[in-house]
Amino acid sequence: KAGVTQTPRYLIKTRGQQVTLSCSPISGHRSVSWYQQTPGQGLQFLFEYFSETQRNKGNFPGRFSGRQFSNSRSEMNVSTLELGDSALYLCASSPRGGGGYEQYFGPGTRLTVT
Amino acid sequence: DQQVKQNSPSLSVQEGRISILNCDYTNSMFDYFLWYKKYPAEGPTFLISISSIKDKNEDGRFTVFLNKSAKHLSLHIVPSQPGDSAVYFCAASLGGGGADGLTFGKGTHLIIQP
């Protein structure tokens, strides 16, 4: 089976812009979660989608949003980018919903905000 | 407040010996624990998990031990191989619905010396 894919792999944006990141889960996985990784905070949970519904959300501002499509593919959007949003954004899929079980991660999108 | 702590940022072990990575948690509600391995420029790879109803789980060279009273878990790798050199993350969740996704430690960089 193909693994989790994320596009683009690298992105450079300017403060104040918005960005959309894309994730395709492992075939058959209906749960998709997003995580932010920074050197200071480590890996932090953003949100989880299951069957097109956001089920869980981490402690991030409303500028961070997402959605999931009927084919389980997911997108994450960050509006009004700030310098502190520079991070590696990881998408993970799971055959089980809830976000608390084994997650299979993609390679991530490296976002740099200047 | 960090709920999952990996107090050793790095660990060096000789090839063929046992590697022991440690993790402590503070939230007594956590009931599902996982270990991930991460190589540079890749997403984390799931290694092994353990439910709080168990105190040990084995998978090949990897064994995870859970001591609930001490809120401590450890990952043993025997024997250690050069390909095991990576950053290892401990993660915990509320299991079930996992409302907050996975809570990760900040990682331990394992270096296997030839």
The pLDDT tens digits for A20-37 are: 999 999 999 999 999 999
**Contact present, B112 and B14 (Cβ < 8 Å):** yes
What is the arithmetic mean of pLDDT over A79-100? Answer: 90
**Subunit contact A100:B42, Cβ cutoff 8 A:** no
CA A98 – CA B44 distance, rounded (Å): 19
CA-wise closest residue to A76 among A19, A114, A12: A19
Chain B residue numbers with beta carbons less than 8 Å from the beta carbon of A103 are: 46, 102
Lowest-pLDDT range, A43-47, B81-85, B97-101? B97-101
What is the arithmetic mean of pLDDT over B76-88? Answer: 97
Of A48, A90, A101, the CB nearest to B43: A90
pLDDT in tens, A70-87: 999 999 999 999 999 999
CA A13 – CA A113 distance, rounded (Å): 5
Chain B residue numbers with beta carbons less than 8 Å from the beta carbon of A100 are: 32, 93-102
What is the arithmetic mean of pLDDT over A59-64? Answer: 95
Chain B residue numbers with beta carbons less than 8 Å from the beta carbon of A35 are: 101-102
CA A105 – CA A94 distance, rounded (Å): 9
CA B114 – CA B111 distance, rounded (Å): 10
pLDDT in tens, B97-109: 556 788 999 999 9
- Alpha carbons within 13 A on the beta-carbon side of A85: 27
**Subunit contact A99:B32, Cβ cutoff 8 A:** no
What values do phi and psi take at A91, rounded to 5?
Answer: -110, 145
What was the pLDDT predicted at A98? 67
**Beta strands B103-104; B86-93: pairing state:** antiparallel
